[in-house]
Amino acid sequence: MMVGVSSPALLNLIIKRGRSLVKMAHLVPTLSSPPPSPCPALPRSAAITTTTNTTTVAAGMSKSIPDQKRALRSDVRKALKAFSPALRAQEDLAIQNIVLNSSWFKSSTRLCAYISSQSLREVDTGRILGEILKSPDDGHQTQVKKELYVPWVEDKNSNMRMLKISSLEDLVANSMNILEPSPVDANGNQHEDVMLAANPVDLFLLPGLAFDRHGRRLGRGGGYYDVFLKKYQKLATENNWNQPLLVALAYSVQIMEEGMIPVTPCDVPIDALVSAAGVIPISPSALERM
């Protein structure tokens, strides 16, 4: 089976792997997150090697990396569409409980998190966002006062900002019916841009289409998160801040075997993955902090 080729067999493999991963409670990580790197364009003939259970595929003998990514995205979207609503709701509950009860979430003070979209079939973040925005003196799970930054798409050229909100009422639906911060808050003030904030972000909660246990992440093709994360990692380095923990949330059908996700230097690896089966720490930073 060629990596990235859309087929019923690969779709069945994704679904089969997903169902088995729900039952798994412990996975072994091996990849660490590298510092930000430039993103040179890769020629279509450039040779890369990816490994599945039985197959090693060179790019010169297979599809280009962009074509492999498009094919895998198509397969994962089909798997998500076939994923039963009951199981999705079960995993949403389990994933959010894991995050909310974790020490690394409770101790974080500044977070960037995505606003889940039901139409995109993303892991639900509603309870997590609500918990972040609650006052710590109300007897809720959060142990310290938190600040929340959420995505605002600036243009169609992969430029995205993370803007601070203090209430879910600060959100409005964009042209794609995805919630984003309104231009100004309820008091008419501009939302603070995280790139201009005086203090660093501790934790990013990230979406995506596919992930593996070695930190690879496949987004939806716009490049918004990869571009933004590289900018923020550079900012953290320039200010001598600790790098934020990059944690992705995934349904079981989104977790791939090693080698199934093609990557380029532009793709930012994650530090950890949270599924209904538990937390998968990947980078040395995640192993230390989670």
- Inform me whether the pLDDT recorded for 212 exceeds 60: yes
Residue 179: CB partners within 8 Å, gap ≥ 6? 115, 117, 171, 172, 173
Element (H, E) at 229: helix 224-238
User: Given this model, what pLDDT does residue 177 score?
Assistant: 85
User: pTM of whole model > 0.95?
Assistant: no
d(CA 112, CA 12): 34
HSE (side-chain half, CA atoms, 13 Å) at 176: 11
C-alpha closest to that of 121 among 206, 204, 209 = 209
pLDDT tens per residue, range 53-96: 333 334 433 689 999 999 999 999 999 999 999 999 999 999 99
d(CA 129, CA 151): 13
- Inform me whether the pLDDT recorded for 275 exceeds 90: yes
Please provide the distance, in angstroms rounded to a whole number, between the alpha carbons at the two ends of the chain. 36
C-alpha closest to that of 59 among 38, 84, 42 = 42
pLDDT tens per residue, range 8-54: 444 454 444 444 443 443 333 333 444 444 464 333 223 333 333 33
User: Given this model, what pLDDT does residue 79 score?
Assistant: 98
Element (H, E) at 82: helix 65-82
Stretch 161-182: mean pLDDT, rounded?
90
User: Given this model, what pLDDT does residue 1 score?
Assistant: 35
User: Given this model, what pLDDT does residue 138 score?
Assistant: 57
- One of 1.10.274.10, 3.10.20.70, 3.20.20.120, 3.40.50.10420 is the CATH number of 87-289, namely 3.40.50.10420
DSSP 254-285: GEEPTTSS---TTPPPPSEEEETTEEEE-SHH
Using an 8 Å Cβ cutoff, are 185 and 191 in contact?
yes
